[in-house]
Structure 1
Amino acid sequence: MSNTEHGRNQPPFLQLNPADPLIVATRELKPGEDLGIGVKPVETINRGHKMATQPIADGAPVRKLGQVIGVATKAIAPGQHIHTHNVEFRASTADHAIGSGRTNMPILPDDKAATFLGIVRPDGTVATRNYIGVLTTVNCSATVARQVSDWFRMHPEELAPYPNVDGVVALTHKDGCAGGAESEGTKLLRRTIGGYAKHANFGAVVMIGLGCESNQLPRLVTEEGLQAGQRIQTLVMQEVGGTRKTIEAAVARIRELLPVVNNVKRARVPAKHIILGMQCGGSDGFSAITANPALGVAADLLVQNGGTAILSETPEIYGAEHMLLSRAVSNEVGEKLIDLLKWWEGYAAENHGSLDNNPSPGNKAGGLTTILEKSLGAAAKGGRSDLVDVYRYAEPVTKRGFVFMDTPGYDPVSATGQVAGGANMITFTTGRGSCFGCKPSPSLKLATNTPMYKRMSEDMDINCGEILDGGASVEEMGERIFKLILETASGKRSKSEDLGYGEDEFAPWHLGATF
């Protein structure tokens, strides 16, 4: 591909840190090609992949962005491809100096902060969308919930008189029984469903149980502090009389709820009411260079305007945790994060795995070699703001600022935890082209490179590949992302919403054995 197709100012490679013994190709580099740096490729180097510019000895650390991403398993000569065939993962030795790099960035007062058009709920929380949710306690009630939402999808005339209602959403899952009512897995599921039931983006919810499951509906309502009433309604299939009668009852209740939920109006509110969940998936060799640092700029802008930015995917900060620990506001916050990483090391070993099982085959095809390299990009989404707290999966996020939530690296599971914790917006960076949505919260997709953006423009909201092409700086792209976050929170539809994503992507974290 020519330089014009990639951007007139784009060089054929990037050297990200003067101390790096490597470069990253921005297009395919051919054997023998003169790059003007005194080193020629000795083999084809695909775009997004790494080429050695200095000799790297067998057993020596390999650095990118000045950080160790692995250890050479054989001697690597200048011009050779650096990847999984000659570099391997070693356990993280990152420095854990808590609070050594705090930035203390000032927070703007409300009268100076950015604003958006939000929906203010009676309890003071602010929504970016206004859905009616159909939630399930167990997989056995999933078909009923789906048929309830399908009814309104197939009969748009039922929703037409209620333009302020964004839709009826069924969020189903595969769990809820055969795990024990007191198990960690069931407790986690209750917390997740409870978080969605209380979510500001739901004007009302109908919760449907079977009746004999481990995850009993009355206990879920009680333990999660849900107030059964007009906003939260419950149905138990075995009590109502089975499948057809429960569907009819749920549809009837939603018909009664529609005029109530429709009775809202957007009002201008400060950006402090945005709780942003940040994800990256289908990452490539450009994630750490374009979309992730640009999202980090947007996250800092949100925090400076009083809002909340949630970084997650604990296995995907492994090896880069020092970038977060140095900004922790206290030893207590830093130790929380360290404890999570220790748990994940044990969890991986217990399940006969390794944290280096992530990156995925697609990540590796895009140029990422180890989890340490992937983590450098993932952590960049966190910007430079101080880390004010660390939360468990699906735990309510109560502090404003930059926070961390413990989740797996698998995006649907991770984003589900963030939304359960209160995230009313999701941003998702991708290099390979992940397709995703996360109802009831709108999700923005940020492409790391222009060729993928052009192929998948119907799915992508912003092309951060312009940074590589010379069309924008990281800071300019971050400001553009922040502006789109405000517009989307105000009601502008995202690409994933237009494509109908967001129901099947509800994926609570399954912990423990199924009996």
Structure 2
Amino acid sequence: MRQWILKVHPADNVLVALTDLKAGEEVSYEDNTYKPAEFIPAKHKFAINAIPAGASITMYGVLVGKAQSDIAAGGLLSTANVKHAANSFLTEQHQYSWHKPDNNKFANRTFNGFHREDGSVGTANYWLIVPMVFCENRNVEVLQEALIKPLGYGRKKSYELKAQNLINKIKSGVSVDEVLYTEIEPDIEVVGSSRLFPNVDGIKFLNHSGGCGGIRQDSITLCGLLAGYITHPNVAGATVLSLGCQNAQVSILEEEIKKRSPDFNKPIYVLDQQKTGTETDLLDKAIRQTLAGLMLANQNTRKPAPLSKLTIGLECGGSDGFSGISANPAIGYTSDLLVSLGGSVILSEFPELCGVEQNIVDRCVDTDKAERFTNLIRTYSQRAEEAGSGFDMNPSPGNIKDGLITDAIKSAGAAKKGGTSPVVDVLDYPEKVTKPGLNLLCTPGNDVESTTAEVGSGANIVLFTTGLGTPTGNPIAPVVKIASNTTLYKRMSDIIDINTGTIIEGEETIEQAGERILDYVIKVASGDIEVSAVKHGQDDFIPWKRGVSL
């Protein structure tokens, strides 16, 4: 049954509008009646009772702000009358117990993946071409042009014909209005059906702007991230282009690969341009070696694997006022299901754990993990403040417009992605996940930087919730887009895969949505469903430089 308002936690002193509410319109929730004092847009919050200036505002059962001025009963919460505030936290742990979800529906399920010799299983099978430094980006682009279409990996939709038709009209002397409003369908290319290597999902190119300049730690961290992608279960092998003199030396990359995979034996071809000589010689070798590597990669085929071989990254971006009450808790339940089945999940975006740190500390399996989490998040917060910023500046204009007016409100909802299971490990970027269960990974809240990091740490699928819509993808891991509301799901149907607006509309529970999402994940992992980001070739890859990024 559809509700018009929601009280997220019994201790809250605010209500969430699930639809636009008129001033003076009576609405009911759990036998209580409320009357907004002014227009309350859907997704925004209003006060249950009068809140005096300086008083605490509670949502999700935690402190999420302080009133900057008096807020009347039924009054809208906004950036004008609320400022960020969050609960303090200690390393000392409180008692915590986890009630595992009923996973009987999935206990005997498997997915069809690509088995690697180290025991990991990929949900895809890609070949990588990796530059060690930005100086090699142009050579990478040349290889991309030389290999993609001839091998059958071109984009499925091209707008070249549309542009050419309009250019021809301009040459013939049409008006500006005719150019603006003439409907021309884009050309549709038939590719992929005649791939030379049918068991290889594609060649991916990790262009970046790092590898030299900056500080040496940046290059070491970049090598760690690149090593995470090369050793990733979704990757069959790699071609690495090095200039030769950059800070990010091949020897560092090799050390980082060994850290993650001591018995690494995937095919990897490393070319040093300064040693090779001419560009022609470099590219000739790169093409030959890449094609040889693809021949080897094509020998691997999908085979059944237990769900314990899945590692799921949990991400949100373009969040709205519904994210924390529909999409995020839904994938939180998916997370709990997978953990109960022996799989791994990654919760990152440390600026978006602001206000729920004590809950995270309490969930850590031991004191060492709790101390590492508190040290990482406190150091991160301090560095942000030293740079003249802070976690309170994390919400974007889009977040604020849709009801996430403080970082603590945004964070309390964002943390729901991690479900309720214990924290088995705490990782600093770009460390690798090695333990089944819920892993914390220190990353910024920036969507692409965080997604890039989660995959580098081993996520072979990413669940990405959004309330406003974003096309974010990843070169080697399927990124499943999950809408927090039905309006978004319908409006941006070309980039959204799953709708959880059904929770807001009372059509299903969080648990039902979480099970539906896990069933979808299994199909994606098996190659039965191609997610929207993969269809569109949305290969976002942004390494995090350890300066301040929120």
Instruction: Report the TM range for the smaller structure's normalisation.
Output: over 0.9
Listed one character per residue, the Cα deviations across residues 350-409 of structure 1 (whole Å, up to 9, x for unaligned) are: 211111111111111110011111111111111111111101112011111111111111
Which whole-Å CA distance do the structure 2 matches of 1:439 and 1:243 have between them? Answer: 26
Q: Find the residue that maps to 2:295 and give its secondary structure.
A: helix
Q: Give the counterpart of 1:144 among 139, 148, 160.
A: 139
Q: 2:502 aligned with 1:469, yes or no?
A: no
Q: Find the residue that maps to 1:326 and give its secondary structure.
A: helix
Distance 1:96-1:230 versus aligned 2 partners, 3 A rule: closer
Q: 2:371 aligned with 1:335, yes or no?
A: yes
How far off is 1:35 after superposition?
Answer: 2.5
Residue 431 of structure 2 corresponds to which residue in structure 1? 395
Which whole-Å CA distance do the structure 2 matches of 1:253 and 1:33 have between them? Answer: 69
TM-score by length of 2: 0.87
Distance 1:285-1:242 versus aligned 2 partners, 3 A rule: farther
How far off is 1:34 after superposition?
Answer: 2.9
Q: 2:112 aligned with 1:117, yes or no?
A: yes
TM-score by length of 1: 0.92
Q: Give the counterpart of 1:34 among 14, 26, 44.
A: 26
Q: Give the counterpart of 1:100 among 95, 99, 120.
A: 95
Residue 533 of structure 2 corresponds to which residue in structure 1? 496
Residue 60 of structure 1 corresponds to which residue in structure 2? 55
Q: 2:16 aligned with 1:24, yes or no?
A: yes
Q: Find the residue that maps to 2:27 and give its secondary structure.
A: coil
How far off is 1:38 after superposition?
Answer: 4.9
Listed one character per residue, the Cα deviations across residues 245-284 of structure 1 (whole Å, up to 9, x for unaligned) are: 4333222211212221100121111111111111011111
Conserved 8 A contact 1:108-1:306: no
Q: Find the residue that maps to 2:228 and give its secondary structure.
A: helix
Conserved 8 A contact 1:133-1:168: yes
Listed one character per residue, the Cα deviations across residues 16-45 of structure 1 (whole Å, up to 9, x for unaligned) are: 233322211112222232325654333221
Q: Give the counterpart of 1:448 among 469, 484, 494.
A: 484
How far off is 1:106 after superposition?
Answer: 9.1
List structure 1 runs of 4+ shifted beyond 6 angstroms: 106-109, 226-230
Listed one character per residue, the Cα deviations across residues 280-335 of structure 1 (whole Å, up to 9, x for unaligned) are: 11111111100100101000110111100110011110111222222111111111
Q: 2:408 aligned with 1:372, yes or no?
A: yes
Q: Give the counterpart of 1:203 among 236, 244, 255.
A: 236
Q: Find the residue that maps to 1:78 and give its secondary structure.
A: coil
Q: Which amino acid aligns with 2:230?
A: A
Distance 1:125-1:345 versus aligned 2 partners, 3 A rule: same
More deviation in 195-204 or 296-305?
Answer: 195-204
Q: 2:316 aligned with 1:280, yes or no?
A: yes
Unaligned runs of 5+ in 2: 154-193
How far off is 1:99 after superposition?
Answer: 5.2
Conserved 8 A contact 1:113-1:305: no
Q: Which amino acid aligns with 2:2?
A: Q
Which whole-Å CA distance do the structure 2 matches of 1:391 and 1:200 have between them? Answer: 19
Q: Find the residue that maps to 1:429 and give its secondary structure.
A: strand
Q: Find the residue that maps to 2:253 and give its secondary structure.
A: helix
How far off is 1:237 after superposition?
Answer: 2.0
How far off is 1:90 after superposition?
Answer: 2.7
State the aligned residue count: 500
How do 1:345-360 and structure 2 match up within 5 A?
Answer: 345-360=381-396
Distance 1:340-1:218 versus aligned 2 partners, 3 A rule: closer
Identity %: 36
How far off is 1:236 after superposition?
Answer: 1.7
How far off is 1:60 after superposition?
Answer: 0.4
Which whole-Å CA distance do the structure 1 matches of 2:264 and 2:7 have between them? Answer: 58
Residue 362 of structure 1 corresponds to which residue in structure 2? 398
Q: Give the counterpart of 1:176 among 211, 221, 230.
A: 211
Distance 1:74-1:242 versus aligned 2 partners, 3 A rule: farther
How far off is 1:485 after superposition?
Answer: 1.1
Q: Which amino acid aligns with 2:544?
A: W
Q: Which amino acid aligns with 2:315?
A: Q
Which whole-Å CA distance do the structure 2 matches of 1:511 and 1:406 have between them? Answer: 11
Q: 2:50 aligned with 1:14, yes or no?
A: no
More deviation in 409-418 or 93-102?
Answer: 93-102
Residue 47 of structure 1 corresponds to which residue in structure 2? 42
Which whole-Å CA distance do the structure 2 matches of 1:207 and 1:476 have between them? Answer: 44
Residue 74 of structure 1 corresponds to which residue in structure 2? 69
Listed one character per residue, the Cα deviations across residues 161-195 of structure 1 (whole Å, up to 9, x for unaligned) are: 21101011101111111124xx3222211111111
Q: Find the residue that maps to 1:381 and give its secondary structure.
A: helix
Q: Find the residue that maps to 2:15 and give its secondary structure.
A: strand
Distance 1:463-1:215 versus aligned 2 partners, 3 A rule: same
How far off is 1:474 after superposition?
Answer: 0.2
How far off is 1:105 after superposition?
Answer: 3.9
Listed one character per residue, the Cα deviations across residues 43-84 of structure 1 (whole Å, up to 9, x for unaligned) are: 221111111120001100001122111000011001211021
Q: Which amino acid aligns with 1:17?
A: H
Which whole-Å CA distance do the structure 2 matches of 1:465 and 1:346 have between them? Answer: 37
Which whole-Å CA distance do the structure 2 matches of 1:29 and 1:512 have between them? Answer: 43
Which whole-Å CA distance do the structure 2 matches of 1:170 and 1:68 have between them? Answer: 44
Q: CA RMSD for the aligned pairs?
A: 2.2
How far off is 1:96 after superposition?
Answer: 5.1
How far off is 1:206 after superposition?
Answer: 0.3
Conserved 8 A contact 2:126-2:202: yes
More deviation in 274-283 or 28-37?
Answer: 28-37
Conserved 8 A contact 1:296-1:381: yes
Q: Give the counterpart of 1:433 among 469, 478, 487.
A: 469
Which whole-Å CA distance do the structure 1 matches of 2:256 and 2:50 have between them? Answer: 60
Residue 360 of structure 2 corresponds to which residue in structure 1? 324
Which whole-Å CA distance do the structure 2 matches of 1:34 and 1:106 have between them? Answer: 37
More deviation in 313-322 or 20-29?
Answer: 20-29
Which whole-Å CA distance do the structure 1 matches of 2:388 and 2:244 have between them? Answer: 36
Q: Which amino acid aligns with 2:283?
A: I
How far off is 1:157 after superposition?
Answer: 4.6
Distance 1:157-1:381 versus aligned 2 partners, 3 A rule: closer
Q: 2:455 aligned with 1:419, yes or no?
A: yes
Q: Which amino acid aligns with 2:493?
A: S
Which whole-Å CA distance do the structure 2 matches of 1:359 and 1:93 have between them? Answer: 20
Conserved 8 A contact 2:464-2:480: yes
Distance 1:157-1:297 versus aligned 2 partners, 3 A rule: closer
More deviation in 90-99 or 128-137?
Answer: 90-99
Distance 1:18-1:398 versus aligned 2 partners, 3 A rule: closer
Distance 1:92-1:17 versus aligned 2 partners, 3 A rule: closer
Unaligned runs of 5+ in 1: 1-8
Which whole-Å CA distance do the structure 1 matches of 2:266 and 2:115 have between them? Answer: 18
How far off is 1:508 after superposition?
Answer: 0.9
